[in-house]
């Protein structure tokens, strides 16, 4: 999948970019989806802040199986994957972790109810937005961060990168 961008602490904390990561071995793989409903809305999910739906890959899962499971858990839908969006490499200097996040564009194949078993996902809200509203929402979420939410900077920025890539592609097709 095409690498869209590499981000690190320096993107968010220029005065304190953290220690460069010497061992660049990927410690976590995550998948996100730009999930469209029949009305052309894009799903954002979250409890304290909104991002594209998705989550971490389990051992033995393909990227496609991971996003299907995560969407079922968080949104309650079966999906059809329609395209690959790309990947973002996250060098989280403060924790010494490297995460690769992949994104697919998908549409709802069958609606249902969220099936999450994770306590931190039980109170998640789901918001359907136009692509423009979704970008504005993610920008506002990013601007509201105060510096204490270390992982939120990465999670929101990854969602923004993926959504901007799809919106850019949509504009070039027109």
Secondary structure of residue 158 in the 3-state scheme: helix
Choices 1.10.10.10, 3.40.630.30, 3.90.1300.10, 3.90.79.10: CATH for 3-173: 3.90.79.10
Tokens of 113: 């109810």
Interval 38-63: pLDDT, tens? 999 999 999 889 999 999 999 999 99
Give the model confidence (pLDDT) of 63-82 as tens digits: 999 999 999 999 999 999 99
User: Which structure tokens are listed for 25?
Assistant: 């071995």
Residue numbers of the chain with a pLDDT score lower than 50: 119, 171-172, 174
Comparing CA positions, the residue from 88, 91, 86, 87 lying closest to residue 12 is 91
Instruction: Give the Cβ contact number of residue 1 at 10 Å.
Output: 12
């Amino acid at each position: 999948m095409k690498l869209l961008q590499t981000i690190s602490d320096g993107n968010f904390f220029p005065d304190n970019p953290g220690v460069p990561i010497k061992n660049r071995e990927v410690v976590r793989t995550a998948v996100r989806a730009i999930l469209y409903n029949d009305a052309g809305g894009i799903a954002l999910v979250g409890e304290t802040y909104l991002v594209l739906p998705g989550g971490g890959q389990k051992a033995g899962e393909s990227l496609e199986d991971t996003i299907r499971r995560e969407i079922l858990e968080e949104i309650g839908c079966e999906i059809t994957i329609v395209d690959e969006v790309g990947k973002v490499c996250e060098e989280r200097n403060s924790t010494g972790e490297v995460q690769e996040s992949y994104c697919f564009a998908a549409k709802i194949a069958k609606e249902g109810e969220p099936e999450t078993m994770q306590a931190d996902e039980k109170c998640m809200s789901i918001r359907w937005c136009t692509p423009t509203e979704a970008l504005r929402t993610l920008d506002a979420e990013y601007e509201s961060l105060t510096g204490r939410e270390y992982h939120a900077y990465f999670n929101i920025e990854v969602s923004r990168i993926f959504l901007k890539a799809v919106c850019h592609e949509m504009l070039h097709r027109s």
